[in-house]
Amino acid sequence: MDRTHVDVPTRPTPVDISRRHVLVGLAGALTAHALPLTVQLTSAAQDQATSPGWTHLVGGGGGLLFYNASTGAGLSGTLDGSGWHPVTTYADFATGFTVLAGTPSGSLLLLQPSSGLGAAGTLVNGQWSFLSQYDDFAQWTHAAATRDSVLLYNRSSGLGAGGTLRNGAWSFLTSYSDFQRGFTALAGNDDSLLLYVASTVDGAAGTLEAGTWTFTHEYPDFGLDYSLLVGAGDSLLLVNSASGLGAAGRLTDGAWSFDNRYDDFGDWTHVASAGNGYVLFYNTRSGLAAWGTLQGGAWEFYGTI
């Protein structure tokens, strides 16, 4: 992979348009710190996190956001050593956000590739706050975040873009034209990021800091067609849902180091880190979930939800 990149002008300031482009059911002008309509949880609503049907899962700031791209429904809460704690439901997300990324501190970026729209905000104490709207994103297929940055990638073209995501605001910095095509998954932790191809089990790693991607290593030897990847702290976990096999290790300064192998994972469809060392697995078909910790290159199972 060529390490060169192409600098392009900074993106324009996000356009203030009707909130209905991002949040369904609320009209009027967008304000800098507008919050989406929220519904405090009833006892019945607390079961939604472990019910089937959520299409996307993203985390940060000690919390998680479940989202349904077809209905625009959402549910946020916290994840810690005692488990999952739902906080708020949402009925006003736009539909169609299919590329999501969250930093460990809780800044989230949601993209709608079909329209180029994007929304950014924060997830703090299990509460989502909508802060910024954008209308100039390309058709990215993947996104992954590190401590303060996000890398966007298109697997068909091999194009990429990097920028910062801080305090719920996205700032575009650099475009890249030298990525290999065909990466099927991206995962980041505090300072590093891995791009992975399931069909060939190849990977490429590098650092992503202050919005800038730096390629460091290629890895042709991951061995399994892993379907789920998640990073936390200095660590990375890769899981093959079909076989239940997994591998964990450390990814620091753009270098991968294998530490542990596992053979007891369930059939999970989604995984996300809450940004505080806790990770949650979820199955959208059954509604089942499980959580544990990922640190020091090791996964520790805590229980099911």
Say if 6 falls within a structural domain: no
| Number of domains comprising the chain | 1
Report pLDDT for 224: 85
Q: Could you state, in chain order, the average pLDDT of each consecutive group of 10 residues for the chain (305 residues)?
A: 35 29 28 35 49 96 98 97 96 96 98 97 97 96 98 98 98 97 97 96 97 97 91 98 97 98 97 98 97 98 96
Identity of the amino acid at 201: V
Cα–Cα distances in Å, from 298 out to 81, 248, 251?
16, 6, 12
Say if 226 falls within a structural domain: yes
3-class SS at 112? strand
Say if 192 falls within a structural domain: yes
Say if 299 falls within a structural domain: yes
State the CATH number of the domain containing residue 87.
Answer: 2.120.10.30
Sheet strands side by side (includes 270-273): 270-273, 278-282, 289-295, 298-304
Distance in angstroms (rounded) separating the CA atoms of residues 282 and 208: 27
Report pLDDT for 16: 28
Say if 14 falls within a structural domain: no
Report pLDDT for 131: 97
Report pLDDT for 289: 97
Say if 155 falls within a structural domain: yes
pTM of the model: 0.86
64 is in which domain, residue-wise?
A: 19-304
Phi, psi of 269 (to 5 degrees): -105, -20
Say if 86 falls within a structural domain: yes
Report pLDDT for 130: 97
| Residue pair 280/294 in contact by the 8 Å Cβ criterion | no
Say if 9 falls within a structural domain: no
